[in-house]
Amino acid sequence: MTTTAAARAHVMRRLVQAALTCDRDVMADLVTADVTAWSPSLFVTSRDDLLAALERRDDALSGVDIEVRAVDQIGDKAIAEWRVAVDDIGPLVIDDDLTIEPTGRRLHLCGATVAEFDADRVCAFRSYVDDLAVIEQALADP
């Protein structure tokens, strides 16, 4: 079955939304069982690991407003550029050595997600974001 460009663009928008809102049900529908995923604060090699990682993160942010600005496709890959604004209700875990306590501030972040497809499901994706921008916003003087 051939997947249309419009269908993949729709999947990309849903993938970005699910990743940023930690929506495990939607994510489970979009990815293969052996999906690999990477971001500055994530590396998983299966759907089960991905869903577990989303579960650990789902209470750090609220009031998530996402804008997918563009989706481009090349062969079996799609690239989505996005912006997000969130309320920091934390704690925000950056890595094993850095956790930022909640500030209640509105944080803004831009990023891009590159996904590889196996038919109509995502088999691998990478999200590129500037974690330092989030840290700077959270730690800035009010």
Spell out the domain ranges in the chain.
5-139
Spatial CB neighbours of 27, under 8 Å, sequence gap ≥ 6? 15, 18, 19, 47, 50, 51, 54
Q: Average pLDDT in the 19-26 region? A: 93
Q: Is the CATH number 3.10.450.50 carried by domain 5-139?
A: yes
How far is 76 from 11, CA to CA, in rounded Å?
13
Most confident of 67-71, 88-92, 105-109, 138-142: 67-71
- Residue 112 banded pLDDT, cuts 50, 70, 90: very high
How far is 128 from 101, CA to CA, in rounded Å?
23
Nearest to 141 by CA among 109, 110, 103: 103
* Residue-level pLDDT at 1: 46
- Residue 31 banded pLDDT, cuts 50, 70, 90: very high
Tell me the pTM. Answer: 0.85
Helix ranges (H only) for 22-67 are: 24-30, 47-57
Q: Average pLDDT in the 48-69 region? A: 85
**Contact at 8 Å (CB) between 102 and 65?**
no
Provide the Cα torsion 44, 47, 48, 50; round to 10°.
40
**Contact at 8 Å (CB) between 67 and 76?**
no
Average pLDDT, the chain: 89
Tell me the one-letter amino acid at 36: T
Q: Average pLDDT in the 66-86 region? A: 95
Phi (first) and psi of residue 19, to 5 degrees: -65, -45
Helix, strand, coil percent values for the chain (each to nearest 5): 30, 45, 20
101 or 125, higher pLDDT: 125
